[in-house]
Structure 1
Amino acid sequence: MDLALLRTFVAVHRAGSLTRAAALLGLSQPAVIAQIRALERQLGRPLFLRQARGVTPTSIGDELAHRAAPHLDALMEITQSGLDDNGSPRTLHLNGPPEFVSERALPALTALAGRDRMALRASFGHADEALEGLAAGHYDLVISTARPRGALLTATALCDEEHVLVAGARWAARIPPGTLRSKGPRAAKDLPVVEVHESLPLVSRYWAEVFDSLPTASAAVIVPDLRAVLSSVIAGAGLAVLPRYLCATALERGEVVALLDPPVPPLRTYFLVVRTGTLALPHIGRAHEWLLRSALDWD
């Protein structure tokens, strides 16, 4: 079986689109279509179903991708690094939430990179986009709060983060101690909200798990980075739900106040996600193991 055809097939399977696969491979879309058809003729079975938007693999296509992709990735690693390794560093392409990557992952991986002469390239993105980019081969390792489905990607639980409902001292003074526990979210209905998105994902999740209700307030400040959310809360913009690791120092300094200490605080799990089979590649496997070990020391 022609490895070039397999490489094109895996790229289409990961990208879910002939157009995106063509851009990833540096080929024209007709060339990609021709290669997929050639592979289908060799196998005697269709590998994809054309849809209005992109392509969907058949059951045979899925099986072939899951069996071939890890081996193809390993062959590509050999080709890219060379059998006579000249000692040049391998590059790890990482994607994940901006604050978690900045505050947790990069400090840990920088220590590994200095020891193993590994280059790092980090980018930030939404979970769905990051996992799609990982499947398409744009990233080697993704940190995600969403566990992917299917066998093409492999997820390992990395750590849990505790969420805390906080506000600046001025706003916190409007809610006497114990009021939220006794009256529930009504006690905070007049406080403005600071969030990362108009849908209030963190506040809504906290309200659902702690109060068994949905928030009624709209956001006063929207900023897509939890570090900026914290800065806004410190400046007096309102209340927010933040990971404890991110606001621990501000809590100790009294810059923000925890409005409630529920018996079971809401938790969110982070996952390390790779393309299945790529942990056999040394630079990805080492980074994966290093992050898991580092997470044991994270509060």
Structure 2
Amino acid sequence: MRSVSLDALAAFVAVARVGSVTGGADELGLTQSTVSAQLQALERDLGYRVFDRSSRGVTLTTRGRALLARVGGPVDAAVDAVADATGRTASEHTVFLGGPAEFLSTTVLPRLAEWAGPDLDVRVRFGETSDLLSALEASELDLVLSTVQPRIRGVEFAPLVDEQFVLAVPPALVDAFRADPDAVPVVAYGEQLPIIRRYWRSVFDRRPSALRVLATVPDLRVLAELAAGGVGMTVLPTYLADPYLQAGRLVDPVRPAEPPINTLYLARRRSRPGAAPAAEAVAERLQAMLRD
């Protein structure tokens, strides 16, 4: 018999106690497919079946009942010990939140007391949306502010807020831009110009194929400072661009009637109501705050 993982044993114990894979997945905060895969791996490693499966759910085999009697308590203790060591479940009031550094730092976290308050311990992770959604699926995060609509089984989402984008050009380069937009150098968020490309297609109805990129920096706050310093133009969300525009450090020479927008979504694992009260409370407060 090969060694078996703690995750697989924890999945076995959860499913055995509630009598269904779906219920066990809810208890663990995982997707049904993840738990099913863990059970299959466990049975493969043990060399025998632990459940009989039918359209009505699952029931323990004789050997499955014997296994549960032996490992149920130790698995509970091991899971608690790992959680304590990693701080994953420091308390029932702890919520793990992920999202883009710029939006969280400038729009969400300054109002922490408003949406979190003294009754919650919020732990924040910055990162790329794809990485954060993977962490959400793996139960490392409770909530993710996603810049794309999630397409992950077992993850639900709701629109949270629309980001509006503006073209930000240094004042000294505005005349050059008006003469030939493609002649002005660019500071970009990513090598494929994701934000600039969206703006160009929406406003100019073409791809930004002739632009010269001077710097690529995956932080919109840095891009704002580079543009304000005269390095080149960029595209910014209004919550970052407005202070620079109002101070005259940046100029929007286009001002389209319908500026491009990008919707931010609040994503979380699907679970039964009341299963994660702290995460539910944060989700509701964030939605209320950002609707104001």
Q: TM-score, length-normalised on structure 1?
A: 0.70
Are the counterparts in 1 of residues 189 and 223 from structure 2 also a CA contact under 8 Å? yes
1:43 corresponds in structure 2 to 53
How has the CA–CA distance of structure 1 residues 113 and 232 changed in structure 2, closer, same or farther, with 3 Å as cutoff? same
2:281 corresponds in structure 1 to 286
Aligned residues: 240
State the alpha-carbon separation in 1 of the partners of residues 110 and 193 from structure 2.
29
How has the CA–CA distance of structure 1 residues 10 and 268 changed in structure 2, closer, same or farther, with 3 Å as cutoff? closer
SS in 2 for 1:115: coil
Q: CA deviation at 1:92?
A: 1.0
State the alpha-carbon separation in 1 of the partners of residues 112 and 46 from structure 2.
39
1:192 corresponds in structure 2 to 185
Matches within 5 A, 1:1-299: 2-3=13-14, 34=45, 38=49, 41-43=51-53, 90-116=93-119, 118-176=120-178, 187-216=180-209, 217-277=211-271, 280=274, 281-297=276-292
Q: CA deviation at 1:285?
A: 1.1
CA offset digits 1:175-200 (Å, max 9, x no partner) = 34xx6xxxxxxx21111111111100
CA offset digits 1:230-261 (Å, max 9, x no partner) = 01101111110100111111100001001211
Structure 2 unaligned residues grouped into runs of 5+? 1-11, 56-78, 85-90
Are the counterparts in 2 of residues 143 and 272 from structure 1 also a CA contact under 8 Å? yes
Q: CA deviation at 1:89?
A: 6.4
Are the counterparts in 1 of residues 31 and 137 from structure 2 also a CA contact under 8 Å? no
Structure 1 unaligned residues grouped into runs of 5+? 22-28, 46-75, 82-87, 180-186
SS in 1 for 2:183: coil
Are the counterparts in 2 of residues 108 and 291 from structure 1 also a CA contact under 8 Å? no
Larger Rg: 2
CA offset digits 1:28-83 (Å, max 9, x no partner) = x97685379745x53269xxxxxxxxxxxxxxxxxxxxxxxxxxxxxx99xx89xx
How has the CA–CA distance of structure 1 residues 14 and 102 changed in structure 2, closer, same or farther, with 3 Å as cutoff? farther
Instruction: Give the aligned CA root-mean-square deviation in angstroms.
Output: 3.4
State the alpha-carbon separation in 1 of the partners of residues 250 and 47 from structure 2.
57
Q: CA deviation at 1:4?
A: 6.0
Amino acid paired to 1:43? R
How has the CA–CA distance of structure 1 residues 89 and 167 changed in structure 2, closer, same or farther, with 3 Å as cutoff? same
State the alpha-carbon separation in 2 of the partners of residues 158 and 37 from structure 1.
47
Question: Percent identity between the aligned chains?
Answer: 30
State the alpha-carbon separation in 1 of the partners of residues 52 and 161 from structure 2.
45
